[in-house]
Amino acid sequence: MVTILRRGTVFIFLIGLFVFFSLSSDRFFQDRNLTNILVQNAHIIIVTVGMSLTMISGGIDLSVGSVAALCGAISAGLMVRNGLPAEVSILLGLALGFVIGAINGALVVFGKLPPFIATLATLGVARGLTLYYTEGRPVSGLTEAYTFWGRGSINDIPTPLIVWLIVVVAFTVMMTRTRFGLHVYAVGGNQETARLAGIPVDRVKILCYALSGMLAALAGVLLTGRVNSAQPQAASGLELEAITAAVLGGVSLFGGVGNIPGGVVGALLVGVLGNGMNLLRVQSYPQQIIQGVVLVSAVAIDMLTKRLESASKRTKSAASR
């Protein structure tokens, strides 16, 4: 019952939203709009993958939005201002995201800071650096080699869709088939047991944050490519969307539970919600309010399932006595 609740809610929500938006807007259920949803939300999906990773390991990464903006801006700047080739600029951007993430991880592991605080600080610092670097103005003048990643296509399949599919498949394989993936679950499930089993807990955690940072950078590159310029305020509030998506997708705030495909479904739900509200001409301010409400509801459900689980466990063990 509880598992059905956990796994089922997000699909019920998603179907419900589909039905609702299809009925209330005749433009929603059209091929073009549905493709749009899959393309426009690429950055949310990719960041949600990283968020799921840090959350499963028992942490959280609030810095994803600013890291996406910073790495987008710097990769754009490296190309436009320093004349580096697009591919090199993008790879350096991803590397920067990886390093910032690793710093987050080091703050958590060696600085013994709560992940919430460490990544909140990074959220502020990265946004500040973005504003400093861009002087508050968009970085534009990107070539097609760069924007290809955000708005191009291969054989009529939009590049962002291909990119996020690859990311999702790769990280799903990583989480389900590799030792590292298993160790992430173990660290999030019970850190002491993991340590005792000889798992390099510190390294696992740092790598989770580093990968989350790198995925945030990738999201930043796609976003920059899509809007054809690096906006200093890009991706602000992305952490809210990603956490909402991950929790909706069944990733537990308490660590140890969840999977990547679940997070992706959650991200699509957040995306459909945004898309539908746009079609219904809901203004952007109320949209944020609704997103906040969805996050609170998702977390409340997560907490509730957790309580139900322990309650059903208690009755079970009482019955066996």
Partner 1 sequence: MSTSSNSSAPLLEMRAIHKSFPGVQALKDVDLIVHPGEILALLGENGAGKSTLMRILDGVFPPDSGQIIWQGQPVNLRSPHDAQAIGISMIHQEIALIPYLDVGKNIYLGREPRGVVPGMIHWRKLYADASEQLARLGLTIDPRTPVRDLSIAQQQMVEVAKALSLDARLIVMDEPTSSLTDTEVETLFAQMRRLKEQGVSIVFISHRLNEIFTVAERVTVLRDGTLVGSKPVRELTQDELIRMMVGRDVADIYMRDEQDAPAVGTSAPILEVRNLTRGDAIEDISFTLNRGEIVGIAGLVGAGRTELAETLFGVHPPTSGEVLLNGTALRLNSPAQAIRQGIALVTEDRKAQGLFLRMSVGTNITMKLLAKLASFGIIPGGKVKRVGSEFVEKLNIRTPSLGQRVRNLSGGNQQKVVIAKWLTLQPRVLILDEPTRGIDVGAKAEIHRLMRALVAQGVGILMISSELPEVLGVTDRVLVMREGRLVAEFNTRQTSQDEIMTAATGAKTSW
Q: Please report, as ranges, the residues that interact with partner 1 according to CB under 8 A.
A: 177-180, 182-183, 185-186, 189-190, 192-194, 196-199, 256-257, 309, 313, 317-318, 320-321
> Which residue, 84 or 182, has its beta carbon nearer to partner 1?
182
Classify residue 67 by burial, with Cβ atoms within 10 Å: 0-12, 13-18, 19+: buried
Closer of 35 and 193 to partner 1 (Cβ): 193
Cβ distance to partner 1 smaller for residue 98 or 146: 98
Residue 187 CB, shortest distance to partner 1, in Å, is 9
Q: Which is nearer to partner 1, 33 or 309 (CB)?
A: 309
Under a CB-based contact definition with an 8 Å cutoff, are residues 266 and 10 in contact? yes
CB of 242 to partner 1, least distance (A): 22
In Å, how far are 15, 18, 184, 193, 265 from 11, measured between CA atoms? 6, 10, 26, 34, 8
Minimal distance, residue 61 CB to partner 1, in Å: 21
Left (φ > 0), alpha (ψ -120 to 50) or beta: where does 234 sit? beta
Phi/psi of residue 257, nearest 5 degrees: -130, 140
Alpha carbon 254 to its chain centroid, in Å, reads 17
Q: How many other CB atoms are found less than 10 A from the CB of residue 152?
A: 16
Tokens of 166: 């690859």
Q: Are 27 and 279 in contact (CB under 8 A)?
A: yes
Distances from the Cα of 174 to the Cα of 53, 177, 301, 306, angstroms: 10, 6, 28, 26
Name the minimum Å distance from CB 96 to partner 1.
25
CB of 193 to partner 1, least distance (A): 5
Comparing CB distances to partner 1, the nearer of 112 and 321 is 321
Q: Is residue 282 within 8 Å of 273, Cβ to Cβ?
A: no
For partner 1, the closer of residues 196 and 296 by Cβ is 196
CB of 292 to partner 1, least distance (A): 29
CB of 200 to partner 1, least distance (A): 9
83 vs 198, which CB is nearer to partner 1?
A: 198
